Amino acid sequence: MSDPVVEVDPSWAIVGALLLAVLVMIAVALDGMLAARAQGGSAAASLRWPAAETARLLRQRRRSTVAADSLLWRIGGAGMLVAALLKITVVPFGEWTLFDFEAGLVWFNAMDALVWALVWLVGWGGNSVHALVGGYRFLALAVAYELPLMFALIATAIASESLNVGDIVAAQSELWFIVWMPVAFLIYSIGVVAFSVWGPFGSSLGADIAGGVAAELSGVDRLVFFAGRYGVLVAGAAFAVPLFLGGGSGAVLPAWAWSLLKTVVVLAAFVWVRRKVPLIRPEKFMEVGWMLLIPAGMLQDLLIALVMVNR
Amino acid sequence: MTLIGEVFFWVLGATAVLSGAAVFWVNSMARATYALAISFVAVGLQLLLLDQAYLGVITILMMVMEMAVMAVYMIMFMGMNPALMPMSMVHDKRLSLVTALVTFALLAAGILLTPWPSGRPAPTEDVTVALGMALMEPKMLAMIVLSPVMVATIVAGVSLSLHRGRYDRYGDDLERAAADDPQPGGVGR
Amino acid sequence: MDHTGTDHSQMDHTGTDHSQMDHTGTDHSQMDHTGTDHSQMDHTGTDHSGTDHSGMDHSGMDMAPAGIPLAGGAADRDGLEMDTLAVQLGPVLPYWPPGLVLHCALNGDVITRARARGLDDAWHGFVEPGGREAAARRCDDAAALLALAGASGLAADARRLRGALLRGDTAAAQHGLDRLERRVRRSLLRWSLGRLGVVEDPALAQHLVAAQAGSVFDRLLAMLGAARDANDGSSGERRDASRLIADLPQLVTGLDLAAARLVVASLGLSSLAAERGGHHE
């Protein structure tokens, strides 16, 4: 079997980062359009909004708070973008990948564990009650979503007998994983939306605590934090493609086009969910995660393991 | 390992030691905890350089999660609760110094006295499996028995230390239909 | 340090183990006690004499960095001792009844003690007339609660209905209210807001919107129902905000901030404040 993905020169990382930026812009614009539709604003204005907001935040003076822990604050704020960039290194784009790593699946998982620390650090750094409460909320949520997410990731590893993302894509040449492990895909999607502090899992950025962890962020700090937060959402959507949707496989179009197309579709679904599901507070989700999602994930893994053993 | 790899390895080693020491230099619980996290991440990256891909990444994953949770514990539940404030990370200096030096001497002696294999054997095909075999093979049964015992200990410990058990939630005869919780959970059991 | 006249009722250090504490070298001169809220801290009964100074060296510890006094500790709702912050919510916050002030002791994000007051003491009972404006205010209340619950689409709908009511488009509003209520009933809000902030006391319930006891979710539906009735001109009710404010601490103690905000928003205090303003003019 030839290698399903080829590792490209590291200088292509710049293209990868640009691709991430474009997808982030698409996500922001789409969210803006959905908001405009819900609230009766103008869709054209919402398309201009990402660029306008970027320009505004770049020019805004950076505010600080009394006795802020600036070092940890900056690490947390910038870290989300770094985590998103590190995540996409193992995501194949068609047949190319930046980092053909033997434990790519665990690498992705380790990068979303970084988000635990980063969101909390942003909440801590500003020395503000509301931001810190946001940080606490995120960790409470993280304890509930991370284990189910791990079981969902493991499902793909069992079925492909590898932790390498390229091998996982190759194992789907006959049947996409989403078809015979829908529960794992569902849990994975919940995990991605949750670690992106997005939509129903956005209570750490809630309106009830003045914007939560981002309450005291301003200027370029705010821009980088929110770019990174959209970045991890995009990375999560992009990683769903090699994991569950057969990677770049598809008719007529080249592999990279299929990767991009599938990523945009998954991303659009994640963005759309935001306005459809109310906030899921950590104390509500804790029981769901531990009493429903973990057993469901384990059963899914067991089923796949039985199939793999008996074939 | 290439020359660049070796340089990286030593830089990461120094980072791990220095950020480990920073745990005691800094003056806030959050910084101390995350200094320790950086130390662990550096060790995880060193493992990656030793071709232990899985072990390296899993070290980073586990330790970052662990430190994120530990920071909250350190800040919320510190004995006298000044943990939201700047504070010294060093307590009882003399005894700690002696303990640290003795531990260091013991571990260093252990490293020096271990009969390490001589020469440079060719790397095996799958280093993770090889390492697992070397570490675990003679003790596999003990390890397999240990893990359920550990899980059982955790479960027992948690149920013994529970502030509110099921009799508080459902009444002395477990007769309540819905649990009496400060805030209801999402499954409604 | 002069603690005379401060309110020490909230925190009790008696029985706390201070033997580990070393106050040598701490700088108390930086602590500015004027005007700070000491309701959290009670040093009465604490015995600092004869404490063992060998255990812990806090010489690097500043009791009030940047002029912010030390966070205290107190038992949280599980009985564990935890950091405590004195936090004031209101009088002005988004989706918050204007003029309501809630002084909270926060352990982490859980309210362990609370004291509520209206900025204006004259905030008490009156008759709420029916009519379009009352209906619009109900929609405002519902929009705030929906926004806090993270149902941004439904909140936008409620705000649009408010606009329709104020424009006098009553027929459309009536239809919209029915539709919004159906969508709320079908949504996950029943799961996220039901069983939360349950009011069982009938004496208190009669001051709630449409005298509706039950959970936050029940009160959300009551708001939409009351908006419809007010729009019909069929209702007018007598509610006493001061009674609700008096019982507020009991309702929010033991809840985390998110749940407490939802409970406060579900009481429909905002519309009472607006009504009162209207009456005085």
Beta-ladder partners of C100: C118
CA distance B93 to chain A (A): 26
| pLDDT score recorded for residue C58 | 44
CB A279 within 8 A of CB A200: yes
Q: Which residue does chain B place closest to C73, by CA atoms?
A: B81
Interchain contact, A200 vs C150, CB within 8 Å: yes
Q: Which of A136, A137, A207 sits opposite C147 (nearest CB)?
A: A207
3-state helix, strand, coil in chain B (%, to 5): 70, 0, 30
3-state helix, strand, coil in chain C (%, to 5): 40, 15, 45
Q: Name every chain A residue with its beta carbon within 8 A of the beta carbon of B186.
A: 280, 283-288
Find the helix or strand (DSSP H, E) in which C86 lies: strand C81-89
- Write out pLDDT tens, residues A123-150: 988 888 889 899 999 999 999 999 999 9
**B57 vs A108: CA distance, rounded Å:** 9
| pLDDT score recorded for residue A108 | 93
C 238-257 residues with CB below 8 A of B? 254-256
Q: In the block, which residue shows the tokens 């240990």?
A: B146
- Write out pLDDT tens, residues A59-79: 888 888 877 788 888 888 889
CB A289 within 8 A of CB A145: yes
* Nearest Cα to Cα of residue C104 among C253, C276, C265, C262: C253
Q: Which residue does chain A place closest to C69, by CA atoms?
A: A67
Helix axes C216-232, C257-266, angle to 10 degrees: 20
Per-residue pLDDT of chain C (281 residues; tens, 9 = 90+): 334 333 333 333 333 333 333 333 333 433 333 333 443 443 333 333 333 333 344 444 455 556 666 666 677 776 677 777 888 887 888 898 888 889 998 887 888 889 888 876 545 545 455 677 778 888 888 999 999 998 888 898 898 888 888 887 888 888 888 899 999 999 889 888 888 888 877 777 777 776 677 888 988 998 888 888 777 766 556 677 777 888 889 889 888 899 999 999 988 877 666 555 544 43
Residue A278, pLDDT > 70, answer yes
* Nearest Cα to Cα of residue A239 among A78, A107, A61, A66: A107
3-state secondary structure at position B56: helix
CB A106 within 8 A of CB B61: yes
Q: Name every chain B residue with its beta carbon within 8 A of the beta carbon of C21.
A: 80
- Write out pLDDT tens, residues A77-94: 889 999 999 999 999 887
Four-point Cα dihedral B125, B126, B131, B136, nearest 10 = -110
CB C241 within 8 A of CB C209: no
| pLDDT score recorded for residue A147 | 93
Q: How many CA atoms lie within 13 A of C129 on its CB side?
A: 7
Rounded to 5 degrees, φ, ψ at C117 are -150, 155
Q: Which of B83, B93, B186 sits opposite C83 (nearest CB)?
A: B83
Residues contacting B72, CB < 8 A, separation 6+: A120, A136, A139
- Write out pLDDT tens, residues A217-231: 888 889 999 999 999
CB A115 within 8 A of CB A231: no
Q: Which of A101, A142, A285 sits opposite B53 (nearest CB)?
A: A101
- Write out pLDDT tens, residues B75-117: 877 655 556 667 777 778 889 889 999 999 999 999 999 988 7
Name the burial class of residue B74, with classes exposed (0-12), middle (13-18) and buried (19+) by CB atoms within 10 angstroms of its CB: middle
| pLDDT score recorded for residue B83 | 63
CB C61 within 8 A of CB B28: no
* Nearest Cα to Cα of residue A113 among A78, A133, A139, A75: A139
Question: Could you say which DSSP state residue C73 is in?
Answer: E
Token representation of residue A84? 């998103």
**Interchain contact B121–C (C-beta under 8 A):** no
Q: Which of B80, B86, B182 sits opposite C73 (nearest CB)?
A: B80
Handedness of CA B2, B3, B8, B14 (dihedral sign): positive
Token representation of residue C35? 């005007």
3-state secondary structure at position A153: helix
Name the burial class of residue A60, with classes exposed (0-12), middle (13-18) and buried (19+) by CB atoms within 10 angstroms of its CB: middle
| pLDDT score recorded for residue C11 | 39
Residues contacting C218, CB < 8 A, separation 6+: C194, C212
Question: Which of C23, C24, C56 should be substituted to probe chain B, the one whose Cβ sees the most B Cβ atoms within 10 Å?
Answer: C56
Helix axes C152-167, C216-232, angle to 10 degrees: 20
**C90 vs C76: CA distance, rounded Å:** 23
**A226 vs B101: CA distance, rounded Å:** 46
Interchain contact, B83 vs C58, CB within 8 Å: no
Beta-ladder partners of C101: C117
CB A152 within 8 A of CB A112: no
Residues contacting A94, CB < 8 A, separation 6+: A248, A254, A255, A256, A257, A258, A259
- Write out pLDDT tens, residues A192-219: 999 999 989 999 988 888 888 888 888 8
Q: Which of B37, B58, B186 sits opposite A285 (nearest CB)?
A: B186
Question: Which of B75, B78, B85, B189 should be substituted to probe chain C, the one whose Cβ sees the most C Cβ atoms within 10 Å?
Answer: B85
Report percent pLDDT > 70 for chain A: 99
A 140-159 residues with CB below 8 A of B? 142-143, 146
Total Cβ atoms within 10 A of residue A40: 10
CB A266 within 8 A of CB A196: no
Give all chains having 3 or more CB-to-CB distances under 8 Å with chain A: B, C
Find the helix or strand (DSSP H, E) in which A301 lies: helix A294-309
Q: Which of C17, C56, C70 sits opposite B85 (nearest CB)?
A: C70
**C77 vs B168: CA distance, rounded Å:** 14
Q: Which of A35, A66, A133 sits opposite C257 (nearest CB)?
A: A133
Q: Which of B75, B87, B184 sits opposite C196 (nearest CB)?
A: B184
Question: Could you say which DSSP state residue B119 is in?
Answer: S
Number of Cβ pairs < 8 A linking chain B and chain C:
77
- Write out pLDDT tens, residues B50-86: 888 889 999 999 999 999 998 888 887 765 555 666 7
Interchain contact, A71 vs B57, CB within 8 Å: no
| pLDDT score recorded for residue B102 | 96
Cα–Cα distances (Å) from A188 to A185, A240, A279, C92, in that order, read 5, 8, 18, 40
Handedness of CA C48, C63, B71, A285 (dihedral sign): positive
Beta-ladder partners of C115: C103
Residue A269, pLDDT > 90, answer yes
pLDDT tier at A285, thresholds 50, 70, 90: very high
3-state helix, strand, coil in chain A (%, to 5): 75, 0, 25
Q: Name every chain C residue with its beta carbon within 8 A of the beta carbon of A129.
A: 85, 87, 106
CA distance A148 to chain C (A): 21
**B94 vs B102: CA distance, rounded Å:** 12
A199 dihedral zone (left: phi>0; alpha: psi -120 to 50; beta): left
In chain A, where are the structural domains located?
6-309
Total Cβ atoms within 10 A of residue A46: 20
Most confident stretch, A97-106, A293-302, C26-35 = A293-302
Question: Could you say which DSSP state residue B171 is in?
Answer: T
Q: Which of A69, A113, A136 sits opposite B65 (nearest CB)?
A: A113
**B126 vs B129: CA distance, rounded Å:** 6
**Interchain contact A272–C (C-beta under 8 A):** no
* Nearest Cα to Cα of residue A72 among B34, B60, C62, B63: B34
Q: Which of A67, A137, A280 sits opposite C192 (nearest CB)?
A: A280
Q: Name every chain A residue with its beta carbon within 8 A of the beta carbon of C261.
A: 208
Name the burial class of residue B164, with classes exposed (0-12), middle (13-18) and buried (19+) by CB atoms within 10 angstroms of its CB: middle
**C257 vs A116: CA distance, rounded Å:** 21
- Write out pLDDT tens, residues A239-251: 999 999 988 887 8
**A200 vs C152: CA distance, rounded Å:** 10
Handedness of CA C119, C122, C128, C129 (dihedral sign): negative
Residues contacting C162, CB < 8 A, separation 6+: C136, C139, C140, C143
Instruction: Considering only residues B148 and C135, tell me which one the structure prediction assigns the higher pLDDT.
Output: B148
**A177 vs C52: CA distance, rounded Å:** 64
Total Cβ atoms within 10 A of residue C200: 8
From the CA atom positions of chain C, what is the Rg in Å?
A: 23
Token representation of residue C243? 């009674």
Q: In the block, which residue shows the tokens 């504490």?
A: C21
**B112 vs A7: CA distance, rounded Å:** 41
CA distance A278 to chain B (A): 14
Interchain contact, A210 vs C192, CB within 8 Å: no
Token representation of residue C49? 């004499």
Token representation of residue A163? 């932790």
**Interchain contact C259–A (C-beta under 8 A):** yes
Interchain contact, A284 vs C147, CB within 8 Å: no
Find the helix or strand (DSSP H, E) in which B113 lies: helix B93-113
A 85-104 residues with CB below 8 A of B? 101-103
C 5-44 residues with CB below 8 A of A? none
Q: What is the mean pLDDT of residues A246-273?
A: 88
**Interchain contact B166–C (C-beta under 8 A):** no
C230 dihedral zone (left: phi>0; alpha: psi -120 to 50; beta): alpha
Q: In the block, which residue shows the tokens 């320790």?
A: B36
Number of Cβ pairs < 8 A linking chain A and chain B:
77
Name the burial class of residue A209, with classes exposed (0-12), middle (13-18) and buried (19+) by CB atoms within 10 angstroms of its CB: buried
* Nearest Cα to Cα of residue C219 among C255, C244, C242: C244
CA distance A245 to chain C (A): 29
A 85-114 residues with CB below 8 A of C? none
Total Cβ atoms within 10 A of residue C128: 23
**Interchain contact C116–A (C-beta under 8 A):** no
Q: Name every chain C residue with its beta carbon within 8 A of the beta carbon of A279.
A: 149-151, 192, 258
pLDDT tier at A270, thresholds 50, 70, 90: very high
Residue B11, pLDDT > 50, answer yes
